[in-house]
Amino acid sequence: MSDTTFFVIETIVKSLIIVAVFSALAGFGTYFERKVMAFMQRRYGPMLVGPQGVLQVLADGIKLFTKEDIVPANSVPLIFKIAPVITASTAFIAMAAVPFFPSFEIMGHTVSPIVADINIGILFVLGAMAVGLYGPLLGGMASNNKWSILGAARTVVQFLSFEVITGLSLLAPIMMIGSLSLIDINNYQTEGGVAGWLIWTQPVAFFLFMIAAFAETNRTPFDLLEHEAEVVAGFATEYSGMRWGMFFIGEYANLFTVAFLVSLVFLGGFNDLGFIPGALAILLKVAFFFFVFLWVRSTWPHIRPDQLMWLCWKVLMPIAIINLLITGIVILA
């Protein structure tokens, strides 16, 4: 087999695997979320479908697929139908530049589990995830529903708030590494085991990026877009069935992307961790961060949109810039 055919087949197989695995993981993400939150509230969570309720995902899937597909009157049907696709597809597009595991050998070819190792990797991932917010925005505006409009407006508020922080907080580690490629970022932390992780040299950037990640993935302290206590379901009010499901596949896929990003940039990525092989190490880290997202959701109250803007622009952005300045001074000195 020539290198070109192998490359083509390899890329197609990788894309298929990513879409299949992360769609399934998004489903199981809902199961884990319900279980973890239930335990933190002294409940069982889903228990009836399958042992310990593991097949609840299947039941939910059947329900979502067979539900009536409603396009509300006076909406803009085309945009209403496209919006969930934007969220779901950009979530998967963002994964194209994420290296999930260390590279390995198959049939004499070295396979690296990344669809495209582009030299602007992290920029591409963040950009693609940010484009995903067009889904809630367009969906909310096209729904002909006041709650949806509020959700769409909040999407803009949220986007304007967190996007500054993600960029500025990641700039400091990127200055130290000198590359935007996630593989370079990972290789930078090869030396020294746990002590070589970037979280020890860039703790402020880590916390800022975590906060921004919660806003980016629309998780609880910042789940303004669809906070049901305030705006019914926000942008998703008029959505049902598989269109609604696609929004949430996108949301959970983003959750995993962000967990991979944090693990790669700040926690040593897929480098071997003592006796733990690299592939397992990054899975453990991602699992931990996924748990943190659920843990935070069941603990913290959520904040108002104006508080989010206050937090991002008046508190986090100055901290990010000071962090950037100090990093720059230390690098030059």
Instruction: Tell whether residue 47 is a contact of another protein (CB under 8 A).
Output: yes
Q: How far is it, in rounded angstroms, from Cα 307 to Cα 312?
A: 8
If one asks whether residue 298 binds another protein (CB under 8 A), the answer comes out as yes
When binding is defined by CB under 8 A, the residue of 210, 280, 296, 309 that contacts another protein is 296
Number of residues that bind another protein (CB under 8 A): 14
Q: Could you say which of 1, 16, 40, 54 contacts another protein (CB under 8 A)?
A: 40
Question: Smallest distance, Å, CB 69 to another protein?
Answer: 34
Q: Tell me the helices (H) and strands (E) count for the chain, helix number first.
A: 14, 2
Give, as ranges, the residues between 122 and 141 that touch another protein (CB under 8 A): none
Give the shortest CB-50-to-another protein separation in angstroms. 15
Our finding on whether 42 is near another protein (CB under 8 A) is yes
Q: Closest separation between CB of residue 33 and another protein, Å? A: 13
Q: Rule CB under 8 A: is residue 287 a binding residue for another protein?
A: no
Dihedral-angle region of residue 274 (phi above 0 means left; psi in -120 to 50 means alpha; beta otherwise): left
Q: Which is nearer to another protein, 116 or 315 (CB)?
A: 315
For another protein, the closer CB: 137 or 212: 212
Stretch of 39-47, 61-69, 106-114, 321-329 lying at the interface with another protein (CB under 8 A): 39-47
The window from 38-46, 110-118, 179-187, 276-284 that contacts another protein (CB under 8 A) reads 38-46
Which residues, in sequence order, are bridge partners of residue 111? 104
- The answer to whether 41 contacts another protein (rule: CB under 8 A) is yes
- Interacting positions 310-329 with another protein (CB under 8 A): 315
Q: Which CB sits closer to another protein, 50 or 61?
A: 50
| 44 contributes a contact to another protein by CB under 8 A | yes
CB of 151 to another protein, least distance (A): 26
Under rule CB under 8 A, residue 39 binds another protein: yes
Would you give the binding string for another protein spanning residues 49-88, x where CB under 8 A is met? ----------------------------------------
Give the per-residue SS3 of the chain: CCHHHHHHHHHHHHHHHHHHHHHHHHHHHHHHHHHHHHHHCCCCCCCCCCHHHCCHHHHHHHHHHHCCCCCCCCCCHHHHHHHHHHHHHHHHHHHHHCCCCCCEEECCEEECCCCCCCCCHHHHHHHHHHHCCHHHHHHHHHCCCHHHHHHHHHHHHHHHHHHHHHHHHHHHHHHHHCCCCHHHHHHHCCCCHHHHCHHHHCHHHHHHHHHHHHHHCCCHHHCCCCCHHHHCCHHHCCCCHHHHHHHHHHHHHHHHHHHHHHHHHHCCCCCCECCECHHHHHHHHHHHHHHHHHHHHHHCCCCCHHHHHHHHHHHHHHHHHHHHHHHHHHHHC
- Judged by CB, which is closer to another protein: 104, or 300? 300
195 to 214, contacts with another protein by CB under 8 A? none
Of residues 177, 165, 249, the one with CA closest to residue 213? 165
- State the DSSP code for 273: B
Q: Examine residue 43 and tell whether it contacts another protein (CB under 8 A).
A: yes
Contact status: 6 vs another protein (CB under 8 A)? no
Residues that bind another protein (CB under 8 A): 36, 39-44, 47, 295-296, 298-300, 315
